[in-house]
Amino acid sequence: MRFRGLDLNLLAVFDGLMQTHSVSATARQMNLSQPAMSAALARLRDYFGDPLLVSHGKRMHPTAFAESLLPQVRQCLGGIEALLATSASFDPATSQRSFRIVASDYLVAAVIAPMQERLAIEAPGVRLKLSYPDENTGHLLDDGKVDLAINPREWLAPDNPAELLFEERHVVVGWAGNPLMAAPLDEEAFLAAGHVSVAIGARINASFADRHMALLGKTRRVEVEAASFATVPWLLVNTPRISVMHERLARVAARMFPIRIQPLPFAFPVMEEHVQYHHTRAQDEGLGWMKAKLREASMIQIMDEC
């Protein structure tokens, strides 16, 4: 397909080249021969009147013009992705659609797993492709490579709409045999205990709980730092340690592990989980259905425990 003389397939080639800085690597990634990829790069150079990528040693480096072009190309590709994924009508009972969702392991365990049990009956052809949030989540959303991203309000990407999905409280969790968990803790006992905390992502970002604990001036004695929320119960059993955990996840974990739940001994802010999507998908009937299912699962989960 051509638009103003440009083969639109070349935009995907350009994006691939800008990711790999290599003709051969991009050719392998796109299942093309190296001569075909070289020819595509030549056509891009001819169309834009710029070398785009210049060889230096064993690598190719983008020109300043190519760098300036990249955000526009990715926005264009994201719009095309969104357009192709959008249907005028959506019937969950017959749909074969895949939903690409970015969510933490806490959300997968506490909300998405219970939801998919219902989807297996209500929407047997619908597929979920799940990935964890990281520093690239905003770019993936902009590029149309994910459908929905779920994050606390503090971590929302600035350029796309967001909707409140649900509110989450935090609680204290510990092994059922831990004497500290026999009754609600006071603040002194809470701060004196050994803790399991969670740090997220390759850049070791503080969790919502740790971030707000620091803002409140509460210093915990962290003895174990886990890389995921779902591993915390394993690290509590048969130890005197405690942890601060999302209430929904804590209640799911309490069905599977010998742990107890107690309230925090001081006022703590409620976490707002928001769902984000590309701004071109605001009227996507399928995404509207999926957002409703996520909300329903989050409400059922907490009501079941009340």
Q: Give pLDDT, residue 236.
A: 98
Q: What's the mean per-residue pLDDT of the chain?
A: 89
Give per-residue pLDDT as tens, 108-136: 999 999 999 999 999 999 999 999 988 88
Q: Give pLDDT, residue 82.
A: 62
**234-246 burial, b for 16+ CB within 10 Å, e for fewer?**
ebbeeeebbbbbb
The CATH class of 98-160+276-301 is alpha beta
Across the range 154-166, mean pLDDT stands at 89
Q: Is the pLDDT of residue 97 over 60?
A: yes
Q: Is the pLDDT of residue 268 over 80?
A: yes
Q: Is the pLDDT of residue 301 over 70?
A: no
Task: Let me know: does 21 contact 59? Beta carbons within 8 Å.
Answer: yes
Give per-residue pLDDT as tens, 197-243: 998 765 557 789 999 999 999 999 999 999 999 999 999 999 999 99
Domain 170-263, what architecture?
A: 3-Layer(aba) Sandwich (3.40)
d(CA 231, CA 245): 11
Q: What is the pTM of this model?
A: 0.71
Q: What percent of the chain has pLDDT over 70?
A: 92
2-85: in CATH 1.10.10.10: yes
Q: Is the pLDDT of residue 3 over 70?
A: no
Which part of the chain is CATH 1.10.10.10?
2-85
Which part of the chain is CATH 3.40.190.10?
98-160+276-301, 170-263
Q: Give pLDDT, residue 303.
A: 60
Q: Is the pLDDT of residue 84 over 70?
A: no
